[in-house]
Amino acid sequence: MVKLDTVLVTGYSKAPQGTAMYEVYKHTGIVLEINKHTHIIENVEFVFITGLTNSFFEKLMIGYCLNDGLESLIERIKYHYIAPSQQSVIVALQSAVQRFWDNLKTEEDTVILR
């Protein structure tokens, strides 16, 4: 079995009413592949968004180090992604990143207890 240095984390938020995303799916979803050691986003995919949007977000987010905090990444999203679902995407991102940090802390706490 191959040893992986990455984890997949997901985050979701309510899609804005009046958008096609809301009418079809009700939620915005993000999947991040993050390196557990470097904390760098290695891959990203949004659930329920077009292929063009996915490839655009790949350019925006792949290579970003979460150790730098989310502020500059959020500003980058606000500047480059002008759509009704902008805030929904940001909330989904924040949720996924928080899940990553919480899981990392849980793993570290488990190792300490052993």
Per-residue confidence (pLDDT) for residue 112, from 0 to 100: 55
Mean pLDDT of 65-86: 96
Does the residue 71 lie in any domain? yes
- Structural domains in the chain (count): 1
Written in H, E and C, the secondary structure of the chain is: CCCCCEEEEEEEEECCCCCHHHHHCCEEEEEEEEECCCCEEEEEEEECCCHHHHHHHHHHHCCCEHHHCCHHHHHHHHHHCCCCCHHHHHHHHHHHHHHHHHHHHHHHHHHHHC
pTM for the predicted model, two decimal places: 0.89
Instruction: Indicate the average pLDDT of the chain.
Output: 91
Per-residue confidence (pLDDT) for residue 48, from 0 to 100: 67
Does the residue 86 lie in any domain? yes
Its domain, for residue 61, covers 6-113
The pLDDT of residue 109 is above 60: yes
Per-residue confidence (pLDDT) for residue 76, from 0 to 100: 97
Does the residue 98 lie in any domain? yes
CA distance 25 to 14: 9
Per-residue confidence (pLDDT) for residue 61, from 0 to 100: 97
Whichever domain contains 52, its CATH number is 3.90.1010.10
Does the residue 1 lie in any domain? no
Does the residue 72 lie in any domain? yes
